[in-house]
Amino acid sequence: MTSNKHNPKRVLAIDPTSRGFGYVVLESPTTLVDWGGKVIRDQNEAKTLAKLSELIRHYGPEIIVLEDPRESRRCARIQSLLDGVCRLATEEGIESRRVPISRVKKVFHAFRATTKHEIAQVIAQQLPELAPQLPRYRKAWMSEGYGMAFFDAAALALTYFHFRLLRTAGAPQARPMAENLKRSELV
Amino acid sequence: MASHKLPNYLRVHRKRLGLSLNEVAFLLGWRGASQPSRYEHFSRTPTLRTALALAVVLQVSIRDLFSGEYRKAESAVCRQAQRLEARLTMESPDQRTARKLAWLKRIGSADGNPS
């Protein structure tokens, strides 16, 4: 039997927004289990954490992936919320991983995707279930689409998987995202 | 594959097809969306007839749709197969027993294999 260390684990990635948060649940870089957005009124941190607790109880993720806000310009509320999510993960006995946005950009730069929309397009090819929800190209005067939150969460999760698969490159089932995408003749 | 499968993957397959809970309920001949919602939240397990109907609606095999339940049933059967194998090994070896033992070995080795 293979060791548990090399078993891909169920990952919950979340991306907080001004209206709530977007989330994706993945069992491998190509196996999407659920995705969506939760709307939280009044930007209430306790309500957000309660919604997140429901997701944790339902899916029993082994890892929660979040953005590392230190290298980005996220507001104090989001930074405090991300800290709260990490505390919640520790209380529930779940590992949490913070992925800096620079790392996400580095991974998707290999697929010539630099903007959020281009990254979302690459994700829609990797996870075709999300393709119908791909927000249309945002002009400068338009507000960001509701669906972009779970594309951002998916970007964090795929970056996490990419680096984890690179670390465990010796494992038989390890196949970095780059290889998956090469197979789909994207690059 | 995750180390622990979810009891069912109804939600992902439904969302993949863009169906609402109400539409699934309608296809299965129910009035409201509460029953399929209970299945998706793992608070109820569907009957065999309902599970078959869900597999038809979502166009996925029962084994893939109810991976967690399948795994649970598989490992229970494997444990029993190993017990029966141990019991049969004690008996006098004839052709029939040998055939059964070979079959039980195959069932026993299926536990933990990716589905």
pLDDT per position as a tens digit, B43-73? 999 999 999 999 999 999 999 999 999 999 9
Confidence of residue B95 (pLDDT cuts 50, 70, 90): confident
Identify the pLDDT of residue B112. 53
The residue of A2, A27, A31 whose CB has the most chain B CBs within 10 angstroms, and thus the best one to mutate to test that interface, is A27
The residue of A10, A12, A54, A127 whose CB has the most chain B CBs within 10 angstroms, and thus the best one to mutate to test that interface, is A10
Supply the mean pLDDT for chain B: 87
Identify the pLDDT of residue A92. 87
Q: How close does chain B come to A31, measured CA to CA in Å? A: 8
Map residue A161 onto helix, strand or coil: helix
Using the predicted structure, report yes or no on whether residue A1 has a pLDDT greater than 60: no
Identify the pLDDT of residue A17. 86
Confidence of residue A148 (pLDDT cuts 50, 70, 90): confident
Stretch A80-97: mean pLDDT = 88
B13: closest chain A residue by CA: A33
Stretch A78-92: mean pLDDT = 88
Q: Is A33 in CB contact (< 8 Å) with chain B?
A: yes
Q: Cβ B6–A9 below 8 Å, yes or no?
A: no
Identify the pLDDT of residue A133. 83
Using the predicted structure, report yes or no on whether residue A160 has a pLDDT greater than 70: yes
> Which residues of A are less than 8 Å from B3 in CB distance?
4, 7, 9-10, 62
Using the predicted structure, report yes or no on whether residue B111 has a pLDDT greater than 80: no
Residue B27 exposed, middle or buried by CB count within 10 Å (0-12, 13-18, 19+): middle
| CA-wise closest residue to A27 among A65, A67, A61, A56 | A61
> Which residues of A are less than 8 Å from B8 in CB distance?
none
Of A27, A62, A132, the CB nearest to B1: A27
Task: Select from 3.40.640.10, 3.30.420.10, 3.40.50.2000, 3.30.450.20 the CATH code of A9-134+148-183.
Answer: 3.30.420.10
Identify the pLDDT of residue B113. 52
- A149/A7: higher pLDDT: A149
- Break chain A into its structural domains and give their ranges: 9-134+148-183
| Run of H or E including B39 | helix B34-40
Identify the pLDDT of residue A180. 55
Please tell me the least confidently modeled range out of A10-14, A18-22, A70-74.
A70-74
Long-range residue pairs from A118-122, CB within 8 A, at least 24 positions apart, any chain: A119/A151, A119/A155, A120/A148, A120/A151, A120/A155, A122/A181, A122/A186
Q: Cβ B2–A35 below 8 Å, yes or no?
A: no
Confidence of residue A63 (pLDDT cuts 50, 70, 90): very high
pLDDT, one tens digit per residue, over B2-38 is 557 899 999 999 999 999 999 999 999 998 889 999 9
Of A1, A27, A34, the CB nearest to B2: A27
Q: Is A62 in CB contact (< 8 Å) with chain B?
A: yes
